[in-house]
């Protein structure tokens, strides 16, 4: 049976098909490995970017709180100073009323 030319032909064709399938599987495995590496790199990059953005957010929040505190302090001083001007005006009115 092994001497039969048809047997030899079928055997060679099956060997070529097997080689072709093995080559394609090997290529697919390489692509999958490459894609897994890319996905890992992307994931690491996204995690790093997320951490950086969170740090930036905390920094901006602290700056905004500081500015809000500064604005509140400035308004308080403005109220105190304008209130002092009103007291001076009242004192001048009282002086003018009593004629001094």
Instruction: Give the residue extent of every domain in the chain.
Output: 1-70
Provide the whole-model pTM.
0.54
Q: Please check whether residue 7 is in contact with residue 1, taking contact to mean a CB–CB distance below 8 angstroms.
A: yes
* Span 69-94, pLDDT tens digits: 888 888 887 777 776 667 777 777 78
Residues 6+ apart with CB under 8 A from 2: 8
Radius of gyration of the chain (CA): 43
pLDDT tens, position by position, 32-80 = 999 999 999 999 999 999 999 999 999 999 999 999 988 888 888 777 7
The residue behind tokens 């302090």 is 73
Cα-Cα-Cα-Cα torsion 6, 10, 11, 14, nearest 10 degrees, comes to 180
């Amino acid at each position: 049976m092994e001497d039969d030319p048809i047997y030899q032909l079928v055997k060679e064709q099956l060997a070529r098909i097997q080689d072709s399938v093995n080559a394609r599987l090997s290529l697919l495995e390489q692509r999958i490995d490459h894609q897994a590496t890319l996905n890992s790199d992307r994931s690491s990059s996204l995690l790093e970017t997320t951490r950086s953005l969170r740090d930036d957010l905390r920094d901006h929040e602290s700056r905004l709180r500081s500015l809000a505190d500064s604005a509140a302090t400035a308004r308080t001083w403005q109220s105190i100073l304008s209130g002092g001007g009103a007291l001076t005006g009242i004192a001048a009115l009282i002086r003018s009323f009593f004629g001094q």
